[in-house]
Structures are given as structure tokens and as C-alpha cells.
């Protein structure tokens, strides 16, 4: 088998999805599955759709196009403020987009009219994380301007927390979103289908709240794929955290000093590496590098210790493990490791099918 490779266990993804649909479904919250961290992988997308997902969301139109062309039968939602340079393709390939700028929604409207289709929009409200969103006091004016636009259907409002600055989801912020939904529905005499409260960072709020209000949708990536909520990075009970495994290969194994010798300057990345002298140790080189993965997101499955690395070498202390040259070494992944590995064209993606 080729290395480095990410083994993708579809059964575990399916099982995580089922558990999350069950957990959130108990309070009538629907789930959009967010595929950006897996780069819109088509095999995974098919499992999501088969598992009951009706809307797949992604921040990159290229991923949505790929899934569309592969025949993935789902509605597609484009996350993040849309690019003006992509308007026509967005209307063509995405059924829904998350928006904050009137000028962009006007362009989506013009394009939808030309293409003879309806494009659905969700307006994002800023709740303090300071990435995308209109300030709460400006949302009604935006709704006023969006409602008359032809070819555009306002289907909901949403917010996003815990991303850019890690601001946490709390009852006050969710109440704000719920109340805005109520106000908009009342003032404009419309029904909003989706009140989309956030992402995998909403889990703790959801598990402890007595009042979900009008929140009826979440957009989940990390908790489906890695089984974790994203505030304390804790495992969600019964979910798998190892649906994805990195497998690398030992290319050198020798006993060498633990302390580098010679006159020292910066390393490949201009950093000064400081190491402690613990005598002669066994050292192994694994064939994977910073070009492929954020090292800090790797957790070795065995007893080994990561020493550091460069563009395409990862150095480990094999400790007591019985590695030889050519042995495979496996790692669990966090979000940033998974994101980088799925994005690297040098890393094979090996699907482990559902039995």
C-alpha cells in the first residue's frame, strides 16, 4: 500500500452521522454536513447523503462542482460570503448561499434571472466572533432590501461562532438569533425555514440548554468527521474520533546523539531548534513533511514521540516500539492535520468501504 496515506473509514463516518442526527433530531434540529475539511470528497459525500443529509455545505465552489459532476444527489450550500468573481457559477451549482452584502445578493439576483432559476439565501448575523455577518441592528434593513429582489428567496438567517476568534456559543447569543428570527417573521409577514445556529462549537450549548428557541439547523463538519465538539475539543459520547488515520513509512532508523552538533543557525523554517541532551537515542525518519501536514495535529497511535521535522521529513523517537525501515507508523488527526492532509496532492486517500 502506498504511503503517506489517509485511511478513510466510511463505516465510522456513517456511524458518527447517525449518532449526531439522533442527538440533534431529538430537539428537531436539522444538520447540513460541511465537507470543506475533506475537500468535497465524493465517496464521503455519498455516505452523507445515504445517511440522510439533505444539504451539503462547503466553502469552496470547486468542491461543490466536483460533487455535482460526480452525481452526488444533494442540495448544495455555499458557506462564507460569495465571491463576486464567481456569481454565475454559484447560481449554477449552489442552491443556497450564506450572505452579508446587499451588492452581492443583487448580483446573485441578476444572475438567477438570466439563468431562469431561484437562488436561496441565508443572511448571516454577527454575534461577536467577528468573521462574516451583518451587525444585529442592521439586519432588518438588509431584509427590507433583499425581499423584493427577483430570483432570490430569503430562506433563513444564521450565525457562526467559535471560528476566527473562538468566541463561544452561549444562551444569550442563541437567544439573539432566535429573537431576530421572530422579529423578522413578524415585521415582514414571512416564514424563515432555516434558523442556522452554528457549527460543531454549538454542542455544549445544545447539550445544556433548556431553551433552543427557534434554532432549527446546524452546519456540522468536525463533529461528523472527528467525533468532537470544538470548544473544549472533547469527544462526543459514542462517536468515533478515528474515522481518519494517517499512515506513514519509516525511511531511516539509526541510533544517533539526541543533541545536534556543529555551529547552529535557523532551520529550514528560520526557527532555532532547542533540544535537550539525553544521550544516544534511536531516531526514525518518516516520509511525510510540513508540505503535507500540520505536525502539531498528529497524535501517534503507539508509544513513539515526535521530535520535529522539515518540508518532507518527520523525525520521531521510536521509544520501545519494534520499528524497522519500511515499517508503517499510524497517527490520529485533529482538524488542522486532517485539513492539510486532505488538501495535499502527495497524500493518497484510501477508502475503507462500508462492509
- Give yes or no for residue 8 binding ligand PLP (CB under 6 A): no
User: Which is catalytic among the residues 26, 36, 187, 301?
Assistant: 36
- Residue closer to ligand PLP, measured from CB, 98 or 181: 98
How many residues form the binding site for ligand PLP (CB under 6 A)? 14
Question: Quick check: helix, strand or coil at residue 18?
Answer: helix
Distances (CA, A) of 84 to 139, 177, 269: 21, 27, 36
- Give yes or no for residue 56 binding ligand PLP (CB under 6 A): no
> Smallest distance from the beta carbon of 293 to ligand PLP, in angstroms?
18
Give the separation between CA 107 and CA 114, rounded to whole angstroms: 11
Concatenated DSSP letters for 42-84? HHHHHHHHHTT--EEEES-HHHHHHHHHTT--SEEEE-SSPPG
**Catalytic status, residue 276:** no
201 touches 230 (CB < 8 A): yes
- Give yes or no for residue 3 binding ligand PLP (CB under 6 A): no
Residue window 205-224: x/- pattern of binding to ligand PLP, with contact defined by CB under 6 A:
--------------xxxxx-
Residue from 36, 95, 294, 349 binding ligand PLP (CB under 6 A) = 36
190 touches 147 (CB < 8 A): yes
- For 141, the grid coordinates are 434593513
- Residue closer to ligand PLP, measured from CB, 78 or 146: 78
Residues 158-197 that bind ligand PLP (CB under 6 A): 160
Cα-Cα end-to-end distance for the chain: 20
Give the separation between CA 64 and CA 167, rounded to whole angstroms: 28
Q: Which residue is nearest to ligand PLP (CB)?
A: 221
- Residue closer to ligand PLP, measured from CB, 3 or 63: 63
Following CA atoms 230, 234, 236, 241 in sequence, which dihedral angle do they give, to the nearest 10 degrees? 90
Residue from 15, 16, 230, 248 binding ligand PLP (CB under 6 A) = 230
- For 98, the grid coordinates are 450564506
- Give yes or no for residue 199 binding ligand PLP (CB under 6 A): yes
- Give yes or no for residue 119 binding ligand PLP (CB under 6 A): no
Supply the residues annotated as catalytic.
Answer: 36
Positions touching ligand PLP (CB under 6 A) are 34, 36, 59, 79-80, 160, 199-200, 219-223, 230
Amino acid at each position: 500500500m502506498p504511503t503517506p496515506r489517509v485511511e478513510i473509514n466510511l463505516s465510522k463516518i456513517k456511524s458518527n452521522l447517525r449518532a449526531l442526527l439522533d442527538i440533534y433530531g431529538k430537539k428537531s434540529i436539522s444538520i447540513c454536513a460541511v465537507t470543506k475539511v475533506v475537500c468535497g470528497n465524493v465517496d464521503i459525500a455519498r455516505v452523507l447523503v445515504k445517511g440522510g443529509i439533505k444539504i451539503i455545505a462547503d466553502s469552496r465552489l470547486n468542491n461543490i462542482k466536483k460533487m455535482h459532476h460526480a452525481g452526488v444527489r444533494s442540495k448544495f450550500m455555499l458557506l462564507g460570503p460569495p465571491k463576486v468573481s464567481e456569481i454565475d457559477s454559484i447560481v449554477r451549482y449552489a442552491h443556497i448561499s450564506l450572505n452579508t452584502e446587499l451588492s452581492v445578493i443583487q448580483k446573485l439576483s441578476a444572475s438567477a434571472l438570466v439563468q431562469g432559476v431561484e437562488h436561496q439565501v441565508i443572511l448571516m448575523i454577527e454575534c461577536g466572533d467577528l468573521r462574516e455577518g451583518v451587525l444585529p441592528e442592521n439586519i432588518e434593513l438588509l431584509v427590507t432590501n433583499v425581499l423584493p429582489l427577483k430570483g432570490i428567496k430569503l430562506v433563513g438567517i444564521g450565525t457562526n461562532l467559535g471560528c476566527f476568534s473562538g468566541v463561544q456559543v452561549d444562551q444569550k447569543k442563541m437567544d439573539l438569533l432566535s429573537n431576530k428570527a421572530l422579529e423578522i417573521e413578524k415585521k415582514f409577514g414571512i416564514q424563515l425555514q432555516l434558523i442556522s445556529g452554528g457549527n460543531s462549537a454549538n454542542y455544549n450549548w445544545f447539550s445544556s440548554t433548556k431553551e433552543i428557541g427557534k434554532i432549527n439547523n446546524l452546519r456540522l463538519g468536525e463533529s461528523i468527521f472527528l467525533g468532537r465538539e470544538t470548544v473544549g475539543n472533547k469527544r462526543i459520547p459514542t462517536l468515533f474520533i478515528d474515522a481518519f488515520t494517517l499512515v506513514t513509512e519509516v525511511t531511516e532508523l539509526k541510533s544517533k546523539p539526541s543533541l545536534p552538533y556543529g555551529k547552529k543557525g535557523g532551520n529550514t523554517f528560520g526557527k532555532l531548534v532547542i533540544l535537550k541532551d539525553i544521550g544516544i537515542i534511536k531516531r526514525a525518519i518518516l516520509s511525510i513533511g510540513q508540505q503535507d501536514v500540520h505536525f502539531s495535529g498528529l497524535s501517534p497511535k503507539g508509544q513513539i514521540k515526535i521530535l520535529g521535522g522539515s518540508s518532507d521529513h518527520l523525525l520521531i523517537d521510536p521509544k520501545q516500539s519494534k520499528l524497522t525501515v519500511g515499517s508503517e507508523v499510524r497517527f490520529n488527526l485533529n482538524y488542522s492535520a486532517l485539513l492539510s492532509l486532505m488538501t495535499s496532492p502527495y497524500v493518497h486517500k484510501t477508502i475503507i468501504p462500508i462492509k
